[in-house]
Amino acid sequence: MERILTLNIGATRLALAEFEVRPGKGPNLLRYAFGEVPEGLTETPDSLAVGLEQALRALMASAGIRAGRTLVSLSGQMAFPRFVKVLAETPEKVREQIRFEVEQNVPFPLSEAIWSDALIGEPLAGEQHVMIVAARADIVSAVTKALLNAGCEPEVVDVAPVALYNGVRFNYPEADGCTLVVDIGARCTNLVFVEQDRIFYRTIPVAGNTITSEIAKTFGLSQEDAETFKCERGLVAQGGAFAVDDPDVDRLSKVIRNVMTRLNAEVTRSIAFYRSQQEGNAPVRVLLTGASAQLPYMQNFFEEKLQVEVDFLNPFQTVGYPGNIDPEQFGRDAFSLPALVGLALRRGLSCPVEINLVSQDIAARKTFRKRLPFLTIAALGLLVSAGIWLVYVNNIRSLYESQSEKIQRRIDDHQDLQEAFDKVDKQAKSAQARAEAYRALLQKRGKWMGMLTAVNRAIPGGLWITSLKANREGGEVKGLNLSVSVWKDLEETRSASGKTIDETVAARLAEQPVFADDPKQIPISKKDQSLPWMTSFNITANLKAAEAEQAKKPASGRSRRSR
């Protein structure tokens, strides 16, 4: 006999239960509790991890539930389902096809996803139906992190619709034909088709909060007041001449019916899709569940619309529960417990459909725990082996000592070889030092070639260099001092627009990768202009490294003589 926890994470509500499970038998409910999901809990993975941990700790404390191994189900909105067909070939080929379908259909990168699949039913006409469920890895990791921080070890991460399916199959074993489960929650409604060993489900964003929002809009109420009004006086208006004496309640019932009519339209479309695309049959019965399914006349509404038998899902037909519990309160709470029952079945029984979105690190922890008894035995065996080894070591110690003497003699014989090796090693290091010196010279040559090439590219045609010297500081080249001349009649044609010829040369030097980027860092000085047919000027082209050093020094006044 074992104690486990099950947790259903809804859009606005957390449901936690403690079960007693035995292999091969149905679980027994021990206790349960509900809690509100904090506002903005699922905005980011970090907020989900922190908020869920706090909410779970408070929930366990209020219900007196101790932390333990936990099976979790995510709401339908937190996971992405896909139902596909693959060719029923070898198991290896089937896995390859499933992998291909996942890559094609999951709406986010596989590197950011955790997915699981299940084969549905027996192969038919050479094809195998497959259900694929994927969720974002950061969401699943945040959920498992919250559980671990709260002291609970997650073993299974399922989705609520699949847990509902397993719960219905266990509690209604004799049901024939197709059964449609309508799980009306706060923010979404799960439609789960149960037909023998086949499953199909859809999640529709029309549910209890939609009704509350319409009531708030119609009556001009806040969301809180509208929710209270719905819970205290709400009912689903019936067709025909149905009316209520209280005009506010009558108006309220019609608002609720309008929303339910929208939901019924989605239900009808889902049934048509299931029959045409999934080759299923029309439902012969409907089972209602979810907190919002408790509104009066909800059963009558769906009977009127779908023209089939409609009943409320009872998850405890074959599952035990405490005998001292308040039956009236338990009857209301049972609407929110089917997914928890379906999760509990995963522990002691083999369920028809098993999905597990648990992350790899959690799966590794679970595998390690299963192997722990074997590791313990292995550790004991290791201790015995260590004792035997000590005896063996004592026996060979004397042999080792005699062999050690022989080895020492051989070491002495090889000492001369070591000295010869040291001499050759010293020569090799000397040769390496000379090679490094040659490499440095080649680098300097390459540096000069780069500067000369840059100067050649920067000097326009028709100009010539009369002098080129290195500008050195402390033995290190900081730039080049150039003397440039140009014929007067070519000066204007070789100058850039709006610039003099010396400014043009300075700007072109600044464009070269080896010189300073800023033309202001390339000083210009004029030579003697005594020759009327020629213009001469000097330019100091600083290298980039010199420019960076110059920027660190205090600014000094510099002047350029205008022409």
Query: What's the 3-state SS for 380-441?
Result: HHHHHHHHHHHHHHHHHHHHHHHHHHHHHHHHHHCHHHHHHHHHHHHHHHHHHHHHHHHHHH
Whole-angstrom distance, CA of residue 330 vs CA of residue 343? 19
pLDDT of residue 315: 94
CATH number of 173-315: 3.30.420.40
pLDDT of residue 509: 86
pLDDT of residue 461: 86
Whole-angstrom distance, CA of residue 310 vs CA of residue 450? 88
Which residues of the chain carry a pLDDT beneath 70?
A: 40-43, 240-243, 360-375, 521, 527-530, 545-563
Give the CA angle between residues 97, 100, 102 to the nearest 5°. Answer: 110
DSSP state of 34: E
pLDDT of residue 557: 43
Q: Identify the bridge partners of residue 483 per DSSP, sorted by sequence position.
A: 467, 538
Cβ atoms of 285 and 310 closer than 8 Å: yes
Q: How many CB atoms lie within 10 A of CB 382?
A: 10
Tokens 């020569």 identify what position? 427
pLDDT of residue 181: 97
pLDDT of residue 360: 65
What is the average pLDDT score of the chain? 86
- Burial class for 204, CB neighbours closer than 10 Å (0-12, 13-18, 19+): buried
Find, among 322, 289, 43, 300, the residue nearest to 172 by Cα: 289
Dihedral sign of CA atoms 236, 242, 245, 248 in order: positive
Q: Decide: helix, strand or coil at residue 125.
A: coil
Cβ atoms of 238 and 250 closer than 8 Å: no
Read out DSSP for 336-349?
A: G-HHHHHHHHHHHS
- Is 1-81+135-172+317-358's fold the same as 173-315's? yes
Q: Decide: helix, strand or coil at residue 62.
A: helix
pLDDT of residue 273: 95
Find, among 36, 16, 19, the residue nearest to 27 by Cα: 19
Q: What is the end-to-end Cα distance of the chain in Å, rounded?
A: 102
pLDDT of residue 365: 58
Q: Give the start-to-end residue ranges of the domains of the chain.
A: 1-81+135-172+317-358, 173-315, 372-413, 445-552
Find all residues with CB under 8 Å of 522, minimum gap 6, and list them. Answer: 506, 509, 510, 515, 516, 539, 540, 541, 542
pLDDT of residue 364: 54
pLDDT of residue 556: 43
Find, among 178, 182, 159, the residue nearest to 169 by Cα: 178
Q: Is the domain covering 1-81+135-172+317-358 a CATH 3.30.420.40 domain?
A: yes
